[in-house]
Structure 1
Amino acid sequence: MTQDIALDQDWVPSACTLPTAEQPLRVAEFDALFADAVQALERPDRTRLRLELAVSPEHAARAAELSARENGCCSFFAFTLTVADGGLALEVAVPPEQVEVLDALQARARMAAGTKRSA
């Protein structure tokens, strides 16, 4: 339980404008997406995280909708959803000063998804 609390604190940056009461709900939404859809994680560089998702219209819609809402309160995130060559991927990029937030996001995704592959 202590580990989850620490990750929650790292996950929500001070730049976030989402009301404090809504932040745990948003974290839970990301955790559910990670658990349901993430098949693999890659970290192409320190400011980018690539999540390979199970291909389905539902996962694509959830990822797009959640990314749009998250960008509304944490505008430093850049989300790119790609559907190509039979695959579905969500890439998350942050400026260098927000790398710790991306680190926490990667840790949550890895923990929630139990992914087999991470680079």
Structure 2
Amino acid sequence: MDETWAPEACTLPTAERPFRVAEFDDLFATHLRRSERVDPQTLDLTLNPESRATVEDLTARETECCSFFTFTLTGTTELHLRITVPPTQTAVLDGLLA
């Protein structure tokens, strides 16, 4: 797993980063229906509704260590997760999408 896209602003201990990457990988492999890169700073994801608790937990923990992320979760029959980052963090969004 390549977590080199994690920026210096990330406060998650380096040893824990592969586990966080694996959590996102598992979420996307199991529940991702669609993704759309709206612009360099915005990524829209559509996920299975049964992933809500996982998405809420994972995005809350990610916001704690990488406060530059904005996660907006909406929907009930389909979950829509909008992820935005500031212009200086577009490489992080690239890494997350990859």
TM-score (norm 1): 0.78
Q: Which structure has the greater CA radius of gyration?
A: 1
Q: In 2, distance between residues paired with 1:27 and 1:90?
A: 17
Aligned-residue Cα RMSD (Å) equals 1.1
* Alignment length (residue pairs): 98
Q: Flag structure 2 segments of 5+ consecutive residues without an equivalent.
A: none
Which runs of at least 4 in structure 1 moved beyond 3 Å after TM superposition?
A: none
What percentage of aligned pairs have identical amino acids?
51
Q: 2:72 aligns with which of 71, 76, 80?
A: 80
Deviation at 1:46, TM superposition (A): 1.2
Is 1:100 equivalent to 2:91 in the alignment? yes
Question: Higher helix fraction: Structure 1 or Structure 2?
Answer: 1
> With CA pairs under 8 Å and 6+ residues apart, which has the higher RCO, 1 or 2?
1
1:15-26 alignment runs, 5 A limit = 15-26=9-20
Is 1:67 equivalent to 2:59 in the alignment? yes
Aligned to 2:22: 28
Deviation at 1:54, TM superposition (A): 1.3
Q: In 2, distance between residues paired with 1:31 and 1:100?
A: 17
Instruction: In structure 1, give the amino acid aligned to 2:67.
Output: S
Deviation at 1:97, TM superposition (A): 0.4
What is the SS of the residue equivalent to 1:29? Answer: helix
| CA displacement 1:44-96 (0-9 Å, x = unmatched) | 1110001110122xx00100100000000000000011115x32111110000
Q: In 1, distance between residues paired with 2:79 and 2:9?
A: 29
Q: In 1, distance between residues paired with 2:95 and 2:18?
A: 14
Q: In 2, distance between residues paired with 1:72 and 1:9?
A: 19
